[in-house]
Structure 1
Amino acid sequence: MKEIKIESTIYVFDSLEELPKEVILLMNKAIEAREKAYAPYSNFSVGAALLLDNNEIITGSNQENASYPSGLCAERTAIYYANSQYPNNKIVRMAITAGSKKNKTTDPIPPCGACRQAIAEYEVKQESPIEIYFMGEIGKIAKSDSLANLLPFIFDKSVL
């Protein structure tokens, strides 16, 4: 038997004001996107904003459906749109914010498992990491330098 030890580094900022100006701008775009979410079933709205290497900012929000599996998360909405419009550009940075209409979210909300897998696909495709910042509605913001910190064992094309 062999033991594998996995370590991740996540940075935590106490407030938006602690972030670099370009990240504050991106997070504000994610907050605007969150306000456009269509979440009548979960009452949980998520917004995402991506910075591409051509300085384009792409946003997305979660879109629910009465047939629950048919909905799509904010992160994947933004990623898939970015790749459909800018297939040769890299995603440099991602900002995510999530909030509930039932309770104020004050802890950082990371991407769900399906979104982590989608982000992993694009890190592999572009052969470079994507910085990921995530937060609730207010409060602390977490930063990961790469999806590898959030999903250390990825499923990718190398296993197919």
Structure 2
Amino acid sequence: MKEIKIESTVFVYDGLESLSQDVVHLMNKAKEAREKAYAPYSNFKVGAALLLDNDEIITGSNQENASYPSGLCAERTAIYYAGAQYPNSKVLRMAIIAGSENKLTEQPVPPCGACRQAIAEYEIKQESPIEIYFMGLKGKVVKSNSLANLLPLIFDKSVL
């Protein structure tokens, strides 16, 4: 048997005021997208914004459904739209803002497992990392230089 240690590195900022203006702009686009979320069941709204290498900004919000597995997260809404509309563009950066409508969400909210896998697919496809910034409704912002930091044992096409 061999033990393998897996480590991830993320950066934690005290708030939006600690970020560069271009990242704040993208976070604000994610905030605007969050307002368009359809979350009547969980009351947990999420907004995502992507910066593409052609300078387009794509946004998405979570869309719930009474048949729970039929909904879609904000991150996948945005990245699938980017893939469909701009198939040859790379995703450079993703911003995510998430929080409950019932209480103040102050801790950073990372992408769920399904979204991590979807983002991983695009990171592998484009052969370059995607910076990911995420936060709650206020407070600290976490940055990962790559999805691989958030999902270190990626399932990809190499095993198929």
Is the pair's TM-score, using the shorter chain for normalization, greater than 0.5? Answer: yes
Aligned to 1:46: 46
List structure 1 segments (4+ residues) > 4 angstroms apart after TM superposition.
Answer: none
- Note the C-alpha offset of 1:148: 0.8
- Note the C-alpha offset of 1:133: 0.1
Task: Tell me whether 1:89 sits opposite 2:72 in the alignment.
Answer: no
Whole-Å separation in 2 of the counterparts to 1:159 and 1:128: 20
Whole-Å separation in 2 of the counterparts to 1:98 and 1:118: 18
Cα RMSD, aligned residues only: 0.4
Whole-Å separation in 2 of the counterparts to 1:105 and 1:34: 13
- Note the C-alpha offset of 1:97: 0.5
Aligned to 2:109: 109
- TM-score, normalised by the number of residues in structure 2: 0.99
Alignment deviations for residues 34-90 of structure 1 (CA, whole Å, 9 cap, x no partner) = 011000000000000000000000000000000000000000000000010000000
- TM-score, normalised by the number of residues in structure 1: 0.99
Alignment deviations for residues 90-126 of structure 1 (CA, whole Å, 9 cap, x no partner) = 0000000001011100010000000000000000000
* Unmatched runs of 5 consecutive residues or more in structure 1: none
- Which secondary structure does the structure 1 equivalent of 2:23 belong to? helix
Aligned to 1:130: 130
Aligned to 1:144: 144
In the alignment of these two chains, the number of paired residues is: 160
Whole-Å separation in 2 of the counterparts to 1:101 and 1:26: 22
Aligned to 1:14: 14
Aligned to 1:71: 71
